[in-house]
Amino acid sequence: MHVRRRTVLIGGAATLLAGCTDAGTRIASASAGPRIAPLRLDPGEVMKITVCLRPFRPSGPRLEAERLGEKTVIHNYGHGGAGWSLGWGCAAEAAALARSGGASEFAVIGAGVIGLTTALRLIETGAKVAIYAEEFPAETRSARATGVWSPSSRIALAGAAPVGFADRWEGWARASYAAHLRMIGLLGDPVEFLPQYEVSGGAPETEAPPAAHDFLHIHRRVRDLQPPWRQMALEENPFAPRETATGNGMVFNVASYADRLARLFMLRGGRMIRRTFPDRAAALALPEPVIVNCMGYGAKAIWGDADMVPVRGQIGWLIPQPEARYSLYYGGVNAISRRDGVVIQYYGPNEDFGYGDANETVDPAETERALAILRQAYVTPAE
């Protein structure tokens, strides 16, 4: 995959386009290539729209220990758009830091993917662990994630990442990928591979202004982990005459994955307690001697991280469509047919899209535009 925020892609809607095509266009016929089951890219299929604020730090995730009075705080937050992808690797490092002082009881603040994986890694060492969170797993921002293997998505700025960061990141990514592979084939399919298609056209890249922020792109360091992509020949390309690249990519079915993590944590003796933290003092008042801060974007206010930047991302969720299990990227829009729904996301003209935007109000018009763009991937251009 190239650097323009391609993640995983999802296929389209040929048959439903009858009656809603532009003059001078026609529906792609079977002669263009093998038929694939179309996604129903109809606003009537939208079951919800959610907004997630990705917790971005220009220098990359904060993973370090801090002494505050009588408490030791282990910070593990700020993973940008790579929280699900890097969760296990960062959790192992955070758990090792937490255990290094000899404590046996730990408080983990936050029940998103970083909090869940960290709590699990700790409890696997024989520790006593409680998760304290205002939002339980299905309510967190992690539950509104795109759900694809994207370990370098909004991970840092090229000019702000410290020396050695790329090596550290690679360790997190490789450890996490190995853990995700162990989830393949489990009940509920928390992790699986999907066919992906990236179709050319739709939004001429020459018209896109360059991003003002130089995001760090280091995905190539782990490109050996996934099967390679290839260009499709005309006779096999269902999106012909448009050029199409294809491959298989890792997808997280977030609902079943988060549920599995929460169940494993509870089965191994963990406790999950609903608690609101209005300020840092409330967090430091917890009874456990070591606190692991996995609050994500919430760390900006509670722990005074002025460097934290929100990156807004909106997803339109279509009703699950098991007959069309693949993903499509076209015209700056990604669609991923996960088992817990078809997620539709518009990425904007460049990576600045959503940067610094803390507005979590949903925009139905954005999702409708994204669906309209994707439908055109299945319309043959006029000759």
Q: Domain locations in the chain?
A: 15-52+192-249+310-380, 56-183+254-308
Indicate if the pLDDT at residue 8 is higher than 70.
Answer: no
For residue 282, how many other CB atoms are within 10 A of its CB? 14
Q: How does the average pLDDT of the chain come out, rounded?
A: 89
Fold of 15-52+192-249+310-380: D-Amino Acid Oxidase; Chain A, domain 2 (3.30.9)
Strand 46-56: give its sheet, edge to edge: 46-56, 309-318, 341-346, 333-338, 327-330, 191-199, 244-252, 230-231
How far is the C-alpha of 263 from the C-alpha of 162, rounded, in Å?
Answer: 37
- Euclidean distance between CA atoms 201 and 332, whole angstroms: 9
Query: What is each CA distance from 2 to 6, 59, 81, 218, 350, in whole angstroms?
Result: 7, 22, 16, 11, 13
Average pLDDT over residues 98-118: 97
Among 107, 92, 81, 59, smallest CA distance to 294 is for 107
pLDDT tens column, 163-221: 999 999 999 999 999 999 999 999 999 999 999 999 998 765 446 788 899 999 999 99
User: Which of 15 and 82 is assigned the larger pLDDT?
Assistant: 82
- For the stretch 77-105, pLDDT in tens is 999 999 999 999 999 999 999 999 999 99
201: left (phi over 0), alpha (psi -120 to 50) or beta: left
Question: Residue 380: its pLDDT value, please?
Answer: 77
Work out whether strand 105-109 and strand 128-133 pair parallel, antiparallel, or are unpaired: parallel
pLDDT of the residue at 308? 95
Q: 310 by DSSP, 3-state: which?
A: strand
Quote the pLDDT of residue 33: 62
The span from the CA of 367 to the CA of 313, in Å, is 11
Q: What local confidence, expressed as pLDDT, does residue 312 receive?
A: 96
Task: Give Rg (Cα) of the chain.
Answer: 21
Predicted confidence (pLDDT) at residue 15 exceeds the cutoff of 70:
no
pLDDT digit string (tens) for 259-315?
999 999 999 999 999 999 999 999 999 999 999 999 999 999 999 999 999 999 999
CATH code of 56-183+254-308, in short, is 3.40.50.720
